[in-house]
Structure 1
Amino acid sequence: MDPFKKCSRDDVKELMEEYIQTLSSPIDSFLENHILKSEFNQMYNGSTIIGYFAIHDEEKMTQFYIRQSYLHLAQDRFKQVLECYSVRSLFVPTSDELFLSLAADQDYKIEKQAYFFQDSKQQGVPESLYPGGEFRLARSEDIPEIIAVSGDFFQQVEELVEKEELFTFMKEDTLLGIGVWEHSKLLTGYASIGMFTKEGYRQQGVGQTIIHHLKQWCYEHNMIPICGCWYYNTNSKKTLERAGMVTKTRLLNFVR
């Protein structure tokens, strides 16, 4: 019997739930969206399903999971998948010990992709919050200005406003920044949050203030806020840290 079989995400739902329990910290929407857009495959040992893997755009592996009782097969199966599916790169969160270890076994170039953040539950740096301003859900009449300020930073602004996933931060009649949240489709009770600050108002506490309000909003709606930023975006990292977010997890890109 073929050890690998293409399947739907629903076919590996139980395995994915097991996988999520193995993570030492959560993943944000950037990686999650890559996973959700991947093609899934079951792994077999004889007629028994022992795990699964996912490949994005026919070249990037985004998940690899084998059940505990079959971990002794992990290295061989991983190498088989790399060769059989012509995998060219691996998106690996450092919170996934198995995937990280298997990737480290390969002689691949490692690129630092992103930081993943969690809330420290500390106050952050309150004195650097932006004074005044109004934080509220975005309305349909805000859409033209949101697009004018943020360009193509947000995809499908109209849909995000309709789904109540965008916020505005205003002072008088000036849009200073935009906040966004996205309900996790893989992690129950989590929401990825993010922000965009209008040029000319950056490094003044606007981004920190938006994240501060987004965190409060998440907790009020029984969700745990998480977020991420590109590894080399130093200003975003500092903004998130001033808002009380901390990072112990990286997203790495292993390239053949």
Structure 2
Amino acid sequence: MNFKAAKVSLQDILPYRDLYLQEMNRQIRYNACHQRGWSDSYLLYADEIIIGYGAVKGQEIADRDTIFEFYLLPLYQHLATRIFAVLAHVSEAKYIEPQSNALLLTTMLYEFGTNIRAEAILFEDDRVTRLSVPDVVFRSKEEYESTFGKKVEDGSGFVLEKGGEVIGSGDFLLHYNKPFADLYMEVAEGHRNKGLGAYLIQELKKVCYLAGRIPAARCNINNKASKATLLKGGLRVSGCMLLGEVKRQESN
């Protein structure tokens, strides 16, 4: 059987990427790399039959050194090792960077990679919470500015207000695969460790759903405070971002 990886346009891989997104059914961390032109696309062939696709981005935006998506049609997934070797060779990839819930590429990472580490924790929605904080009100940016005549300095769409002052802010980002969105928030330094972060996440989840999106989030693997906040706010761990170097082939 002959295998081939051919560089193509993004448009060429979209039918297969739709199947990948359906299979994943969760937020794709580097989805925007496709939309912003920060990746190269490859169709994968076995005996001239298209069996899937791969995508390569860079550790730096201008580079193309990292395989970050790898999908094969179910009928051909038993060929993963053989076609991935071709993709890695043709693309000259130096790194493999899956999210651990993308099982096929994660398997390839552990087969073809070395110096593997986790760099971020991924979260998805888990449960409804009913947190509250006395004298603290969750408001939209517009409501806060019209009520108090003050600007929200960081531009976030939502704030926590206490006594007319902003003590926390956050929003959700939409440059991910639909219907998912990415939550972010920050609590003012003098108001931390009071449950405000988890309350803010809880309320951001609500407005995210009302906007027709499913909330997700991430944090650095070493940020224990953020992890605890996201879990308390009703999210759960769904995976990790992994990174490894492609093993160098030994020359004879």
Quote the offset at 1:2 in angstroms. 8.5
Counterpart position of 2:250: none
The 3-state SS of whatever aligns with 2:237 is strand
Counterpart selection for 1:69 from 70, 75, 85: 75
Determine if contact 1:184/1:191 at 8 Å carries over to the other structure: yes
Paired with 1:253 and 1:133, the residues of 2 have a C-alpha distance of 40
Paired with 2:216 and 2:175, the residues of 1 have a C-alpha distance of 10
Tell whether 2:12 aligns with 1:21: no
The 3-state SS of whatever aligns with 2:87 is helix
Paired with 1:64 and 1:242, the residues of 2 have a C-alpha distance of 33
Alignment of 1:191-202 (within 5 A): 191-202=181-192
Quote the offset at 1:205 in angstroms. 1.7
Alignment of 1:28-107 (within 5 A): 30-34=29-33, 36=35, 37-57=38-58, 58-107=64-113
Which segment is superposed worse, 44-53 or 31-40? 31-40
Tell whether 2:170 aligns with 1:167: no
Counterpart position of 2:61: none
Counterpart selection for 1:116 from 116, 122, 133: 122
* Alignment size in residue pairs: 232
Paired with 2:12 and 2:135, the residues of 1 have a C-alpha distance of 50
The 3-state SS of whatever aligns with 1:78 is helix
Determine if contact 2:5/2:86 at 8 Å carries over to the other structure: no
Instruction: Provide closer, same or farther for how the CA distance between residues 105 and 77 of structure 1 changes in structure 2, counting only shifts above 3 A.
Output: same
Counterpart selection for 2:179 from 170, 184, 189: 189
The 3-state SS of whatever aligns with 1:81 is helix
Quote the offset at 1:89 in angstroms. 1.4
Determine if contact 1:179/1:193 at 8 Å carries over to the other structure: yes
Instruction: Provide closer, same or farther for how the CA distance between residues 13 and 194 of structure 1 changes in structure 2, counting only shifts above 3 A.
Output: same
Instruction: Provide closer, same or farther for how the CA distance between residues 41 and 198 of structure 1 changes in structure 2, counting only shifts above 3 A.
Output: same
* Residues 23-78 of structure 1 deviation map (CA, whole Å, 9 limit, x = unaligned): 2x6235x4333454322111123432221111112111110111112223221111
Determine if contact 1:40/1:55 at 8 Å carries over to the other structure: yes
Counterpart position of 1:130: 133
* Residues 196-215 of structure 1 deviation map (CA, whole Å, 9 limit, x = unaligned): 12222222222112111111
Determine if contact 1:92/1:254 at 8 Å carries over to the other structure: no
Unmatched 5+ residue regions in structure 2? Answer: 59-63, 247-252
TM-score (norm 2): 0.82
Choose between structure 1 and 2 for higher RCO, CA contacts under 8 A separated by at least 6 residues: 1
Counterpart position of 1:151: none
The 3-state SS of whatever aligns with 1:75 is helix
Determine if contact 1:177/1:197 at 8 Å carries over to the other structure: yes
Counterpart position of 1:208: 198
Tell whether 2:228 aligns with 1:238: yes
What is the RMSD of the two structures over their aligned residues, measured on CA atoms? 2.4
Larger Cα-atom Rg = 2
Quote the offset at 1:142 in angstroms. 2.6
Determine if contact 1:34/1:62 at 8 Å carries over to the other structure: no
TM-score (norm 1): 0.81
Instruction: Provide closer, same or farther for how the CA distance between residues 15 and 136 of structure 1 changes in structure 2, counting only shifts above 3 A.
Output: same
Identical positions, percent: 23
Paired with 2:197 and 2:34, the residues of 1 have a C-alpha distance of 28
